[in-house]
Amino acid sequence: MPVTPHLEKHFTATAAVRDVVIGMSDGLTVPFALAAGLSGAVDKTSLVVIAGLAEIAAGSIAMGLGGYLAARTDSEHYHAELEREYREIRELPDQEVKEVAEVIARYGLSEEQAAPVVAAICSDPKRWVDFMMRYELGLEEPDPRRAMRSALTIGCSYVAGGLIPLCPYMFNRTVIAGLWVSVALTLAALFVFGYIKGRITGIHPLRGGFQTVIIGGLAAAAAFGIARLIS
């Protein structure tokens, strides 16, 4: 009797998607709010475009640098803990063996069942430390290229997102006309972005779409209202 193969679909590119989400969401909302705010205070589209481009440049650099430093921090933390674990299995082997046994016991094995497993794990220092890093500390070895990749992904995503609300001001003569086109285009982009993010991350796509629309819309409305009030 033929058996249908069991195919499991798991999403594994969580780090890359997180970077795109961080960059794109901020890129859509911050320049959108800035342009909307300026629309309530100035009457020249060129001023909105220049200020928007300057913000996109500064924001993409700052966000990319933040992603780079965060990834470097993760890597430094991992290697510091790795060195500590190697030192502990040399200096406190009995205690570390006990910790391995405690981790194994969480999976329902009796002391007799766990004993050969613990012995096998602790027979090799690298395997021993890898086990402790993953199952005691919950740390996975970071990709050494992660920092630069994260910086580029976040920075480029920020630029891509930021140009969407800014483009209408480049092709409209009046600020108000550019504002309304920007609002429509950006809210549509926010919904599509949230919808896709929901599909990827497992939340309801419509919920994800409406959440991003509400957040971006509130940010732009607040900026526009404050600029109108001040001016």
- Going from N- to C-terminal start, the domains of the chain cover 14-71+146-230, 80-136
- Share the mean pLDDT of the chain: 82
Of 3-7, 24-28, 89-93, 98-102, the range with the lowest mean pLDDT is: 3-7
Model pLDDT for residues 158-170, shown as the tens digit of each residue: 999 899 989 989 8
Contact of 191 with 213, CB cutoff 8 Å:
yes
Q: Which tokens go with 222?
A: 């607040």
Sign of CA dihedral 76, 78, 83, 87: positive
Q: Count CB atoms within 10 A of the CB of residue 13.
A: 10
Model pLDDT for residues 27-78, shown as the tens digit of each residue: 888 888 888 888 777 788 888 889 999 999 999 999 999 989 988 898 888 8
Of 6-20, 48-62, 117-131, 209-223, the range with the lowest mean pLDDT is: 6-20
Residue predicted with more confidence, 185 or 109: 185
**Which residues, 6 or more positions from 104, have their beta carbon under 8 angstroms from its beta carbon?**
114, 117, 118
* Average confidence (pLDDT) over 105-123: 82
* Average confidence (pLDDT) over 134-138: 83
Q: Convert the chain into a string of H (helix), E (strand) and C (coil).
A: CCCCCCCCCCCCCHHHHHHHHHHHHHHHHHHHHHHHHHHCCCCCHHHHHHHHHHHHHHHHHHHHHHHHHHHHHHHHHHHHHHHHHHHHHHHCHHHHHHHHHHHHHCCCCCHHHHHHHHHHHHCCHHHHHHHHHHHHCCCCCCCCCHHHHHHHHHHHHHHHHHHHHHHHHHCCCCHHHHHHHHHHHHHHHHHHHHHHHHHHHCCCHHHHHHHHHHHHHHHHHHHHHHHHHHC
Q: For the chain, give the percent of residues with pLDDT over 90.
A: 11
Residue of 13, 20, 17 lying closest to 158 (CA atoms)? 20
| pLDDT attached to residue 156 | 92
Residue 165 to residue 178: CA distance in whole angstroms: 9
| pLDDT attached to residue 230 | 67
Residue 108 to residue 187: CA distance in whole angstroms: 51
* Average confidence (pLDDT) over 207-230: 74
Please report which confidence band the pLDDT of residue 6 belongs to, taking 50, 70 and 90 as the band edges: very low
